[in-house]
Amino acid sequence: MSLSQLLQEPPYEFEQQDKQRAYEQVMICLSDTADNKMKEICNNLDTDQQDALMRYLYKGLEKCENSLKLLKWHGVLSEVAGLGCIMRVMSEKRKRVL
């Protein structure tokens, strides 16, 4: 599945094991993307997808897996989506956890 498909309907309301599966899929997708394609992909995401991607990035960074790639994604996404996207991840209610 492409990244934008994975981010289309994030599993906010799902069970823990479904969330884990979705997370693993997203991580595979993120690590397989070439560096020069990142900006184009981020530009094509809408606000909801950008927010979801930022949440996945922070979740991945929290687990300390694949940090180098995730930090590269974070830099690109911050530039495209702005600081507001980061604010939404940081200040969100517990309900929107992935």
Partner 1 sequence: MAQKHQLCSCISALAFNADNTKIALSPNNHELHIYNFDGKEWKSEAVLKDHYQIITGIDWAPNTNRIVTCSQDRNAYVYENIDGKWKPTLVLLRINRAATCVKWSPQENKFAVGTGAKLVSICYFDEEGDWWVSKHIKKHRSSVISVSWHPNNILLATGSTDFKCRIFSAFIKGVDDPNETQALGELIAEYSAGAWVHHVDWSPSGDCLAFTCHNSSIGFMYQNETQFLRIKDLPLVVGGWIGETSYIAGGYDRNPTLFQLKNDKWTRIGYVDQKSTSQTQKKPVNSFKNARSMFGGMVDRGTSSTITKVETLHENNINQLIILNGKFATGGIDGRVIIWPFSLVKKTLNVDLN
Q: Compute the distance between CA of residue 55 and CA of residue 21 in angstroms, rounded to an integer.
A: 15
Q: At what angle do helices 67-81 and 47-62 cross, to 10 degrees?
A: 150
Q: How far is the CB of 1 from partner 1 (least distance, A)?
A: 25
Stretch that binds partner 1, among 16-24, 30-38, 57-65, 85-93 (CB under 8 A): 85-93
Stretch that binds partner 1, among 16-24, 36-44, 62-70, 82-90 (CB under 8 A): 82-90
Nearer to partner 1 (CB atom), residue 75 or residue 82 = 82
Count of positions on this chain that bind partner 1 (CB under 8 A):
13
CA-CA distance, 79 to 48, in Å (whole number)?
16
Q: What angle do CA 22, 24, 28 make, to 5 degrees?
A: 120
Range 16-35, binding partner 1 (CB under 8 A): none
In a 3-state reduction of DSSP, which class is residue 94? helix
Site string for partner 1, 40-59 (x = CB under 8 A): -------x---x--------
